[in-house]
Amino acid sequence: MAHQAHAYHMVDPSPWPLTGAVAALLMTSGLAIWMHFNSVTLMSLGLVLLLLTMYQWWRDIVREGTFQGHHTPPVQKGLRYGMILFITSEVFFFLGFFWAFYHSSLAPTPELGGCWPPAGITTLDPFEVPLLNTAVLLASGVTVTWAHHSIMEGHRKQAIQSLTLTILLGFYFTILQALEYYEAPFTIADGVYGSTFFVATGFHGLHVIIGSTFLAVCLLRQVQYHFTSEHHFGFEAAAWYWHFVDVVWLFLYISIYWWGS
């Protein structure tokens, strides 16, 4: 019986990269169709295909790693590099929106009244819900670290509790932010202030939802005994992502909510 003479993972052929690419195509062209012909069918189809792709691709990775043992130390190292590079790319994504914010706010044009916040904009008080949101995310950073240590020390019940708490804090942030959006005295259409505020905080909120979902998947896996005290990279990746989301919020809070008010 032939077997590999190396520690790397030669992945079996998989259809998910193709379905993912098709999903990307359908979503982008679907977006154009929506903009011009008022039909969401194509984009929705793309979205469904994307969700199916993500579910099945990541399910396969869990099977390969947790059940079939393909995630040897060198393979795990590659996965770590991958997650770090991905998060780095997300940092640059947000950098763009911070650039846009500072471009407009450091030299406010006459159309805004030459001042920031622009004339007529009532900003949110940074010491009300935004400050609570900051506390919530910081606390969730603590609980996710608690979860990590629990996993490493083999404390199953504590790991489940702290991970659950982290996810609940994530939901709490999302709900608070949704309420803020609803009650805000300005909209995305209110000049460059509205644009920079809602695009930056909006993408951040999306990342909170993504991060919470990632953590929730980890919770399900923890409950099903996937993680060992030595090997739990899926959880570590989720925790890194969660810390990244927290740090982005801190920058948003300092720049847009506090300095920009």
Partner 1 sequence: MSDKFEEKIKNYRTAPFDARFPNTNQTRNCYQNYLDFHRCNKALSAKNQDPAPCEWYHRVYKSLCPISWVQKWDDQLESGSFAGRI
Which residues of the shown chain bind partner 1 in the complex (CB under 8 A)? 109-115, 118-120
Q: Which is nearer to partner 1, 69 or 113 (CB)?
A: 113
Q: Give residue for tokens 């659950």.
A: 164
Least CB distance to partner 1 at residue 191 (A): 10
> What backbone phi and psi angles, to 5 degrees, belong to 132?
-60, -45
Least CB distance to partner 1 at residue 110 (A): 5
> What backbone phi and psi angles, to 5 degrees, belong to 107?
-130, 75
> Residue 200 contacts by C-beta under 8 Å, 6 or more apart in sequence?
94, 97, 98, 100, 101, 252, 256
Least CB distance to partner 1 at residue 59 (A): 55
User: 214-227 burial by CB neighbour count: b if 16+ within 10 A, else e?
Assistant: bbbbbbebbeeebb
Q: Which is nearer to partner 1, 123 or 133 (CB)?
A: 123
Least CB distance to partner 1 at residue 116 (A): 12
Q: Which is nearer to partner 1, 15 or 113 (CB)?
A: 113
Which DSSP category does 112 fall into? Answer: G
Q: Is 191 left (phi over 0), alpha (psi -120 to 50) or beta?
A: left
Least CB distance to partner 1 at residue 126 (A): 23
Q: Which is nearer to partner 1, 40 or 107 (CB)?
A: 107
Q: Which is nearer to partner 1, 91 or 115 (CB)?
A: 115
